């Protein structure tokens, strides 16, 4: 079997050491490298200080085949990654003509002028290969020496991700030919991690030794990842599919999809396929449910619109909830949520109406309705379905978990035909 390829992740930036930013980059990078068959053996974060950075370079080079660096590429004086790399690889910084053309075009297309500070972003160590940044101004850099590779990328997450996916990972695969690793992600919703684990315990126990299972719990959902190592990709794929079929016999109703697509994509595909339209009335989720739905490209095929009737008077005047319903039951109640779902469906003239109302917190709780109490409803011409959730004490979690539960309610109730 091929040699295991080792990578070290190096993050540069005082803002991470001081805790002003959470480093989410390195998790994403770990996952992508793992998919590519490259093993991450260490993650290191150092501050914006030359000696710290130089030491980290030297230490990482000893341990790993690949050193992936993020951060410290901004145009300002506290950004030291580039001069440090030039020094470490012993070559000068010089304006890179293609990089200069790209950064000039970047500013021009936004109707802004190139300043001297921006111009310096096109200066690169002459011994590196430029890695194009199609959505930002700081180019990445690729260095090779004695069979080891250093890659420097911006710390801005979307710029780094684009660069990794489009250029860095394919180039690393070509350079190192790591072994074949196959991942299959099975996405489940509506069952907690430990309940899921119990239901599939025997299936898990019977997995062959070259296949590993990981539970990846998220908000309201649990992803299962099967990772297999071998030589033949088609054989690994076939084996994973066969195992998935067996899994479906146990927990099929909780599986909403596979791979990268979250629940909002799965629900969108379902609606498009069945040619159904959707409208939403969201109170406690405050726009987040609509945001999830519309974050999917092409969602205008099935999503017509929504209302966020945050205030009582808007619930009545704009959406049309009966004053007596609100007075008698309050906004967070089954009668109100039923009216909301039916009304938004009628007003927006869609096949499906969905509504949310709850106590997101921290204020607004009563002894009967503590923070985290949420009602959701689904309505179509055949039925109206409600569900009461008891979520957490945390406002942000409640907003997100209620939105995801509402999407799952659509998935479970969309007409079969």
To which H or E segment does residue 325 belong?
Answer: helix 323-329
Residues 49-88 within binding reach of a copy of itself (CB under 8 A): 52, 59, 74-78
Among 210, 212, 246, 248, binds a copy of itself (CB under 8 A): 212
Q: Which of 176, 288, 375, 378 binds a copy of itself (CB under 8 A)?
A: 288
The residues, any chain, with a CB within 8 Å of residue 241's CB and separated by 6 or more, are 184
CA nearest to 149, candidates 171, 121, 116: 171
Q: Is 397 in the site for a copy of itself (CB under 8 A)?
A: yes
Number of residues that bind a copy of itself (CB under 8 A): 105
Q: Give the dihedral of Cα atoms 249, 250, 256, 257; nearest 10 deg.
A: -60
Provide the minimum distance between the beta carbon of 131 and a copy of itself in the complex, in angstroms, as a whole number. 18
Q: Which of residues 93-122 bind a copy of itself (CB under 8 A)?
A: 109-112, 115, 117-118
Comparison of 77 and 383: residue with beta carbon closer to a copy of itself: 77
Out of 50, 166, 198, 273, point to the residue binding a copy of itself (CB under 8 A). 198
Q: CB of 255: closest distance to a copy of itself in angstroms?
A: 17
Stretch that binds a copy of itself, among 80-88, 212-220, 265-273, 333-341 (CB under 8 A): 212-220
363 sits near a copy of itself (criterion: CB under 8 A): yes
Spatial separation of the C-alpha atoms in residues 315 and 252, rounded to whole Å: 38
The reply on whether position 199 binds a copy of itself by CB under 8 A is no
Question: Which residues are paired to 211 by β-bridges?
Answer: 228
Pairing of strands 140-145, 129-131: antiparallel
Span interacting with a copy of itself, options 91-99, 230-238, 309-317, 379-387, rule CB under 8 A: 309-317
3-state class (DSSP) for residue 407: helix
Q: Is 408 one of the binding residues for a copy of itself (CB under 8 A)?
A: no
Q: Which is nearer to a copy of itself, 185 or 270 (CB)?
A: 185
Q: Is the peptide bond before 362 cis (omega within 30 degrees of 0)?
A: yes
Residue by residue, DSSP assigns 71-112 as: S--SSSTT--HHHHHHHHTT--EEE-HHHHHHHHHHHHHTT-
Judged by CB under 8 A, which stretch of 8-16, 90-98, 125-133, 407-415 contacts a copy of itself? Answer: 8-16
The gap from C-alpha 307 to its chain's centroid, in whole angstroms, comes to: 26
Separation CA 81–CA 70 (nearest Å): 9
For residues 81 and 115, is the Cβ–Cβ distance under 8 A? Answer: no
Site for a copy of itself in 260-279 (CB under 8 A): none
Q: How many CA atoms lie within 13 A of 97 on its CB side?
A: 0
By beta-carbon proximity to a copy of itself, the closer residue of 5 and 16 is: 16
Min dist CB 56 to a copy of itself, Å, is 8
């Amino acid at each position: 079997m091929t040699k295991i390829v080792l990578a070290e992740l190096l993050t540069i930036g005082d803002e991470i050491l001081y805790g002003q930013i959470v480093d989410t980059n390195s998790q994403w990078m770990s996952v992508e490298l793992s998919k590519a068959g490259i093993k991450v053996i260490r993650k290191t974060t150092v501050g914006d200080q030359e000696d710290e950075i130089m030491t980290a370079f030297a230490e990482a080079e000893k341990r790993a085949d690949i050193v992936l660096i993020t951060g410290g590429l901004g145009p300002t004086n506290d950004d030291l990654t580039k001069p440090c790399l030039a020094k470490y690889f012993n070559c000068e910084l010089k304006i890179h003509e293609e990089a200069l053309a790209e950064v000039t075009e970047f500013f021009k297309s936004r109707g802004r002028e190139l300043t001297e500070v921006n111009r310096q972003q096109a200066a690169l160590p002459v011994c590196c290969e430029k890695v194009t940044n199609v959505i930002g101004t700081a180019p990445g850099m690729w260095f090779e020496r004695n069979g080891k590779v250093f890659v420097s990328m911006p710390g801005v997450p979307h710029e780094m991700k684009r660069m990794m996916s489009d250029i860095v990972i394919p180039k690393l695969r070509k350079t190192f030919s790591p072994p074949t690793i196959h991942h299959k992600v099975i996405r489940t919703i509506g069952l907690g991690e430990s309940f899921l684990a119990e239901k599939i315990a025997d299936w898990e126990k019977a997995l062959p030794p070259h296949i590993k299972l990981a539970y990846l719990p998220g908000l309201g959902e649990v992803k299962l990842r099967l990772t297999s190592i071998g030589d033949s990709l088609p054989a690994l794929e076939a084996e994973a599919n066969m195992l998935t079929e067996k899994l479906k016999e146990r927990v099929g109703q909780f599986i909403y999809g596979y791979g990268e697509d979250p629940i909002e994509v799965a629900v969108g595909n379902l609606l498009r396929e069945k040619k159904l339209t959707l409208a939403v009335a969201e109170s406690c989720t405050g726009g987040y449910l609509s945001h999830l739905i519309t974050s999917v490209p092409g969602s205008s095929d099935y999503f017509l619109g929504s209302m966020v009737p945050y205030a009582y008077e808007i619930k009545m005047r704009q959406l049309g909830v009966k004053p007596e319903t609100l007075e008698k039951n309050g906004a967070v109640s089954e009668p109100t949520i039923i009216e909301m779902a039916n009304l938004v469906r009628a007003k927006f003239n869609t096949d499906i109406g969905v509504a949310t109302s709850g106590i997101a917190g921290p204020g607004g709780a009563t002894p009967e309705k503590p923070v985290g109490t949420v009602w959701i409803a689904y309505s179509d011409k055949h039925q109206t379905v409600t569900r009461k959730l008891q979520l957490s004490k945390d406002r942000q979690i409640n907003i997100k978990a209620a939105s995801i539960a509402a999407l799952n309610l659509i998935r479970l109730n969309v007409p079969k035909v």
